[in-house]
């Protein structure tokens, strides 16, 4: 196996290492907190950082634990179900590219901005909702193994419960106003629609266009959340 093949398969393991470090910082220090007078789970700045390591664990489950014969099981499933041609034979490099650009780059930037821009920081919860529902709904629709399909465990047991807590904390503790929460969720949803758009770009314009489109798409959620936050009266705990 050459260097390119190793790099193609190694990035989820790098993400797992980053997740461990972030979890230690989140639960053992106050670096990611903005307030000391409330618990971590009710601190908007802390909650903005939490999805980053959770998503790093998700991509590790999806792309690190489910590999057969040097190929991601998710890709193999697409091919076996005849979806590959429907997507215009998406280049394999797009799978690590899209995850690295969003989870390794865009989400940490959003979390860092979240201390002053809570709609931006918390927009990842909208993304989390769509991703979890997509995994679960897709598995049910295709008759797959609900707990065995790549990404479903974290989608079911992490993404959905954390989204519910996000809504609860916003309503109970005023982390965001109602409009602010809606803006954050909508921005995350649009971010995930941006992920889906890569498949359409590949189908219409080809693989090279999809590769070039991905970096721009990765930041659409941050941009939208920033714009919506500017026009929304946001209530935050700091």
In a domain, 216, yes or no: yes
> Rounded to an integer, what distance in angstroms lies between the CA atom of residue 219 and that of residue 110?
9
pTM of the model: 0.91
In a domain, 164, yes or no: yes
In a domain, 78, yes or no: yes
Mean pLDDT in residue range 103-132: 96
For residue 71, list its beta bridge partners. Answer: 68
User: Looking only at Cα atoms, what is the longest distance across the chain?
Assistant: 54
Q: What is the pLDDT of residue 232?
A: 66
In a domain, 235, yes or no: no
Asked if the model's pLDDT at residue 235 lies above 50, the reply is no
Q: In terms of pLDDT, which residue wins out, 4 or 70?
A: 70
151-173 pLDDT per residue, tens: 899 999 999 999 999 999 999 98
Q: What is the pLDDT of residue 237?
A: 42
In a domain, 196, yes or no: yes
In a domain, 236, yes or no: no
Contact 152, 146 (CB under 8 A): yes
In a domain, 219, yes or no: yes
Spatial CA neighbour of 144 closest among 78, 55, 88: 78
Other CB atoms within 10 A of residue 117 CB: 20
Which residues form the domain of 214?
3-230
In a domain, 181, yes or no: yes
Q: Domain count of the chain?
A: 1
Mean pLDDT in residue range 132-136: 92
């Amino acid at each position: 196996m050459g260097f390119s093949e190793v790099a193609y398969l190694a990035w989820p393991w790098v993400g797992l290492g980053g997740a461990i470090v972030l979890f230690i910082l989140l639960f053992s220090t106050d670096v990611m907190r903005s307030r000391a007078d409330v618990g971590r789970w009710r601190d908007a700045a802390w909650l903005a950082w939490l999805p980053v390591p959770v998503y790093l664990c998700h991509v590790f489950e999806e792309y690190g634990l489910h590999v057969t014969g040097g190929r991601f099981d998710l890709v193999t499933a697409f091919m076996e179900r005849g979806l590959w041609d429907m997507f215009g034979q998406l280049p394999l490099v797009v799978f690590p590219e899209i995850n690295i650009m969003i989870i390794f780059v865009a989400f940490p930037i959003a979390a860092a901005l979240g201390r002053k821009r809570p709609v931006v920081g918390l927009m990842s919860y909208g993304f989390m909702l769509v991703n979890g529902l997509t995994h679960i709904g897709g598995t049910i629709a295709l008759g797959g193994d609900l707990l065995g399909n790549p990404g479903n465990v974290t989608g079911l047991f992490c993404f959905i419960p954390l989204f519910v807590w996000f809504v609860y904390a916003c309503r109970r503790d005023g982390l965001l106003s109602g409009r602010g929460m809606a803006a954050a969720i909508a921005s995350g949803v649009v971010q995930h629609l941006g992920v889906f758009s890569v498949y359409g770009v590949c189908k219409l314009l080809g693989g090279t266009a999809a590769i070039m489109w991905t970096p721009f798409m990765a930041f659409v959620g941050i941009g939208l959340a920033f714009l919506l936050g500017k026009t929304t009266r946001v209530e935050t705990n700091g």
